[in-house]
């Protein structure tokens, strides 16, 4: 077990280069299974979750090679396995996408019910409903999802909720179904669009990704390709909050500005100075942080993956903020850890009432899930004294070189194993 020792308060200054998007990379890596031959992916972050996913692909017969630190080469054989290793799948939520990919490519899939961060109940009913409508037979036995199909056909599918995972799973499977699939109330997240662009570069015919209606015309074969993953909007948002919470100023490079609109708007409300430039986005912390209300929603609403970082920021605001979590019910548990640092947070159902305090004090705290871990790092940077963030492995799952990037911005942080 590792921990991060932070000596605060810090003032982050300088520039930081954002890595490829975790959630886009995970989906694209799974989708690469659809195309026999070689796929080369660029801008792939070598983070814990990506390494687990490549290990899973390795067990399915894919040759995995990193020719560069963020370039991944996957050589997909004609015959791939259909049984995903229990011990790895249970560690990673995104492994549920193997279902759609293996059904499309092999016609049969067996995966254990996926794990991932404990941020809510995270059911898979929408994935299963959609795949069943495409003609797949799916059953859950002893913690395993067993799925098969003899013939997969296009269908009109309406999602009760615009789930990112269900949209991606159904889109992957429908790519090789016979006829047209129309997916309504689909998720509009940039990672969904990136997956669609990747699949199209393999020969798929997908239109409408990024809107709530996605049309997929099935094709018989897909081929290996070369593709570059989009930058991680959540990593970018995390560093932007880093500038705001420490009263520093950071140039955040390698970003797509439109993906950051909801985060930019909220940070501006807190008083942060933000300038969109050709080389990235410049953020300077406000003189004092204004309290604001935050409601998480599917894209283009405020992302649930940035809610924890905002809670850390607002714990130092002047006034009281209300944070409403509409996507994952357990994500407000961060309040308990922040209180150890002196924050005043009260959670009632899906809402956290955050009463700003003048300062946070260093304390020993634990990263409960990926984003709350990142939020505790931000709080530790702003807090006075020494903070110890335990379970750093949780943060390593989704952030590439977090401590090295923070050190280059002037923070006094070190990892202890
Ligand atoms: C993905 C992201 C995660 C992000 C989330 C929302 C990955 C690997 N993870 O997670 O970082 O926080 O999108 O932007 O890409 N739901 C159901 N039934 C289902 C599926 C989902 O009820 O079959 C519910 C979930 O419990 C949750 C909501 O829908 O309340 C959103 O989940 P979803 O969009 O599916 O998130 P993930 O794909 O798991």
State if residue 417 touches ligand 1 by the CB under 6 angstroms criterion.
Answer: no
- State percent of the chain over pLDDT 90: 88
Contacts of residue 198, defined as CB under 8 A and 6 or more positions apart, other chains included, come to: 28, 31, 225, 227
Mean pLDDT to the nearest integer, 206-216 = 98
The structure tokens listed for 338 are 């922040």
Mean pLDDT to the nearest integer, 7-17 = 98
Mean pLDDT to the nearest integer, 189-213 = 98
Calculate how far, in angstroms, residue 162's C-alpha sits from the geometric centre of ligand 1.
Answer: 9
Q: Residue 113 — pLDDT band, cuts 50, 70, 90?
A: confident
Contacts of residue 290, defined as CB under 8 A and 6 or more positions apart, other chains included, come to: 269, 270, 271, 317, 318, 319
Answer for the pair 34, 222: CB distance below 8 angstroms, yes or no: yes
The residue whose CA has the least distance to atom 2 of ligand 1 is 23
Residue 116: the pLDDT is: 54
Q: What is the mean pLDDT of the chain?
A: 95
State if residue 111 touches ligand 1 by the CB under 6 angstroms criterion.
Answer: no
CATH topology of domain 3-19+231-416: UDP-n-acetylglucosamine1-carboxyvinyl-transferase; Chain (3.65.10)
Answer yes or no: is pLDDT of 115 > 90.
no
State if residue 121 touches ligand 1 by the CB under 6 angstroms criterion.
Answer: yes
Instruction: Report domain extents, the chain.
Output: 3-19+231-416, 22-228
Residue 91: the pLDDT is: 80
Contacts of residue 409, defined as CB under 8 A and 6 or more positions apart, other chains included, come to: 12, 13, 14, 16, 239, 242, 248, 250
Mean pLDDT to the nearest integer, 50-68 = 96
Residue 34: the pLDDT is: 97
Answer yes or no: is pLDDT of 323 > 70.
yes
Answer yes or no: is pLDDT of 105 > 70.
yes
Answer yes or no: is pLDDT of 121 > 80.
no
Nearest to 334 by CA among 115, 23, 119, 22: 119
Tens-digit pLDDT profile for residues 332-361: 999 999 999 999 999 999 999 999 999 999
Nearest to 304 by CA among 324, 333, 327: 327
d(C-alpha 252, C-alpha 238), whole Å: 10
Residue 11, φ and ψ in degrees, nearest 5: -130, 105
Beta bridge partners of 24: none
Mean pLDDT to the nearest integer, 41-66 = 96
Top mutation candidate among 27, 95, 122, 235 for ligand 1, by most atoms within 8 Å of CB:
122
Residue 141: the pLDDT is: 85
State if residue 165 touches ligand 1 by the CB under 6 angstroms criterion.
Answer: yes
Calculate how far, in angstroms, residue 322's C-alpha sits from the geometric centre of ligand 1.
Answer: 23
Answer for the pair 41, 228: CB distance below 8 angstroms, yes or no: yes
State if residue 23 touches ligand 1 by the CB under 6 angstroms criterion.
Answer: yes
* Catalytic (active site) residue 361: no
Top mutation candidate among 161, 167, 262 for ligand 1, by most atoms within 8 Å of CB:
161
Tens-digit pLDDT profile for residues 256-310: 999 999 999 999 999 999 999 998 999 999 999 999 999 999 999 999 999 999 9
Q: Which CATH superfamily is domain 22-228 in?
A: Enolpyruvate transferase domain (3.65.10.10)
C-alpha dist (Å) from residue 8 to 234, 247, 259, 342: 23, 13, 31, 14
State if residue 327 touches ligand 1 by the CB under 6 angstroms criterion.
Answer: yes
How many Cα atoms are found within 13 Å in the side-chain-facing hemisphere of 399? 27
Question: In ligand 1, which atom is closest to the CA atom of 120?
Answer: 26
Answer yes or no: is pLDDT of 119 > 60.
no
Question: In ligand 1, which atom is closest to the CA atom of 187?
Answer: 34
Calculate how far, in angstroms, residue 122's C-alpha sits from the geometric centre of ligand 1.
Answer: 7
State if residue 161 touches ligand 1 by the CB under 6 angstroms criterion.
Answer: yes
pTM, full prediction: 0.97
Mean pLDDT to the nearest integer, 115-126 = 67
Domains 3-19+231-416 and 22-228 share a fold: yes
Q: Please identify which of the residues 76, 97, 117, 323 carries the catalytic annotation.
A: 117
């Amino acid at each position: 077990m590792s921990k991060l020792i932070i000596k605060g308060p810090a003032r982050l200054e300088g520039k930081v280069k954002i890595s490829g998007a975790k959630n886009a990379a995970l989906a694209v890596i799974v989708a690469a299974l659809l195309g026999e031959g070689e796929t080369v992916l660029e801008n792939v972050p070598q983070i814990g979750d990506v390494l687990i996913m490549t290990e899973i692909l390795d067990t399915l017969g894919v040759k995995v090679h990193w020719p560069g630190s963020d370039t991944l080469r996957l050589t997909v054989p004609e015959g791939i396995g259909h049984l995903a290793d229990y011990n790895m799948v249970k560690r990673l939520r995104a492994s549920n996408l193997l279902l759609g990919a293996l059904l499309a490519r092999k016609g049969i899939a067996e995966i254990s019910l996926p794990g991932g961060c404990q941020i809510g109940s995270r059911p898979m009913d929408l994935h299963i409903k959609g795949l069943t409508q495409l003609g797949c037979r799916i059953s859950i036995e002893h913690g395993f999802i067993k799925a098969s199909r003899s013939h997969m056909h296009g269908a009109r599918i309406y999602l009760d909720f615009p789930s990112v995972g269900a949209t991606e799973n159904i889109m992957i499977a429908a790519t090789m179904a016979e006829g047209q699939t129309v997916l309504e109330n689909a998720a509009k997240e940039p990672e969904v669009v990136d997956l669609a662009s990747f699949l199209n570069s393999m020969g798929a015919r997908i239109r409408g990704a990024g809107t709530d209606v996605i049309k997929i015309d099935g094709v018989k074969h897909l081929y290996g390709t070369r593709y570059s993953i989009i930058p991680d909007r959540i990593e970018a948002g995390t560093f932007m909050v880093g500038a705001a919470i420490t009263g520093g100023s950071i140039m955040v490079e390698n970003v797509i500005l439109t993906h950051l609109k909801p985060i930019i708007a909220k940070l501006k409300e807190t008083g942060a100075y933000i300038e969109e430039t050709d080389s990235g986005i410049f953020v300077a912390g406000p003189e004092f942080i204004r309290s604001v209300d935050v409601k998480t929603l599917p894209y283009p609403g405020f992302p649930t993956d940035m809610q924890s970082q905002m809670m850390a920021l607002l714990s130092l605001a002047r006034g009281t903020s209300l944070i409403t979590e509409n996507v994952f019910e357990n994500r407000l548990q961060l309040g308990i850890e922040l209180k150890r640092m002196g924050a005043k947070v009260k959670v009632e159902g899906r809402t956290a009432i955050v009463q700003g305090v003048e300062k946070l004090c260093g304390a020993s705290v634990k990263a409960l899930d990926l984003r709350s871990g990142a939020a505790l790092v931000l709080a530790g940077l702003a807090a006075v004294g020494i903070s110890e963030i335990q379970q750093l492995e949780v943060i390593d799952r989704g952030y590439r070189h977090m401590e090295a990037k923070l050190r280059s911005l002037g923070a006094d942080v070190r990892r202890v194993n």
